[in-house]
Amino acid sequence: MIKVGVVGGTGYTGVELLRLLVQHPEVELHAITSRGEAGMAVADMFPSLRGHVALEFSDPTKSTLDKCDLVFFATPNGIAMQQAPALLNQGIKVIDLAADFRLQDVAVWEKWYGMPHASPEWLEQAVYGLPEVNREQIRNSKLVANPGCYPTATQLGFLPLIESGCVNVSSLIADVKSGVSGAGRKAETHILFAEAADNFKAYGVNGHRHLPEIRQGLSRAARGNVELTFVPHLTPMIRGIHATLYAQITKETDFQALFEQRYADEPFVDVLPAKSHPETRTVRASNLCRIAIHRPQNGNTLVILSVIDNLVKGAAGQAVQNMNLMFGFDECTGLSHVPVLP
């Protein structure tokens, strides 16, 4: 049994993380912090947790996070890089669900996130928490940078092709859609019901913060530079990521078998039969990524379809998966939920 703290438990990612942690047999929730909601019972803000979480939100400056074995940061970008080093220096392990430690190049991070990095010395020590790539490094890590939702769906869809060297890595395209919960639990005009419902739009076409993260991961797999056009879209649904990925074939192989073999031992990646069309609702509230491979008209372009729940495999579920690896638990503990339908 480990003691776990959550910094920033009031957002959608935070409450999803709490939902998973209270069902985990090896976890004791010790502290849940919120500067703005300190003193409020967690179950008063999130009635879904009534009977499961008896804690109140605590002020992060007065909390007992130093008594924890692991602390999750479910905070906006820029918080963990300021607060995590003090915990790490005390031997407490940290998983950051924001972007503070995802990019190893500090100049690239500062360009895309528009602020100085408060603890660049930790960037090289952080392990990027995509278990399907870095499982062994995660097991031995003190600091895990949990991947973003768009990067998770996109990288898992492209990785088998890039690792095998059978596609042109200078012309990759990722056309990716997200539900509105990906924008966070805050009041902004573009995610109001009257704005987002019955609507569909692209955004960040000239540059999205997840682009350098995806490029970094794919470039490592390719052992060289990767050029990617990444276009995110906002869709009128609450949960879900649907990535439609395009790659030009440079070497013939059995692409279906390639994906099946690459993910044969991965508990949370499901390669569907050829010509399938995965839907976001088939992974809702689960830690699964479902993938299908297409080759339209038997041409030179492969189309990969990859779907995840942005709050689970794209955030909180992957964070719990990383926690399991860091503490030697079975990787699937607390994550074997059947997707919710409808």
CA 57 to chain centre: 24
Q: Which two tokens stand for residue 70?
A: 């692991």
Q: Please state, rounded to an integer, the average pLDDT across all residues of the chain.
A: 96
Q: Which residue type sits at 146?
A: N
* Closest to 96 in 3D by CA, of 117, 82, 75, 124: 75
- In tens, the pLDDT along 296-320 reads 999 999 999 999 999 999 999 999 9
Q: Which residue type sits at 14?
A: G
CB within 8 A of 60, min separation 6: which ones? 7, 33, 34, 35, 83
Q: What local confidence, expressed as pLDDT, does residue 88 receive?
A: 98
Domain 2-125 has CATH 3.30.450.70: no
Average pLDDT, integer, range 192-212: 91
Expressed in percent and rounded to 5, the helix, strand and coil fractions of the chain are: 35, 20, 45
Q: What local confidence, expressed as pLDDT, does residue 60 receive?
A: 85
Query: Does residue 149 carry a catalytic annotation?
Result: yes
Active-site annotation holder among 68, 149, 166, 289: 149
∠ Cα 122 185 60 (to 5°) = 50
Q: Which residue has the tokens 């528009």?
A: 114
* Closest to 52 in 3D by CA, of 43, 61, 41: 43
Q: Quick check: helix, strand or coil at residue 321?
A: helix
- In tens, the pLDDT along 41-77 reads 999 999 999 999 999 999 988 889 999 999 999 999 9
Give how far Cα 220 sits from Cα of 82, 262, 318, Å: 27, 17, 20
- In tens, the pLDDT along 164-174 reads 999 999 999 99
Any long-range contacts for 46-50 (C-beta under 8 Å, 24+ apart)? 46/15, 46/18, 48/15, 48/19, 49/15, 49/18, 49/19, 49/22
Q: Which fold has domain 149-311?
A: Dihydrodipicolinate Reductase; domain 2 (3.30.360)
Label the pairing between strands 57-58 and 241-248.
unpaired
| Residue ranges of the chain assigned to CATH 3.40.50.720 | 2-125
Percent of the chain with pLDDT over 70: 100
∠ Cα 129 133 134 (to 5°) = 50
| Residue ranges of the chain assigned to CATH 3.30.360.10 | 149-311
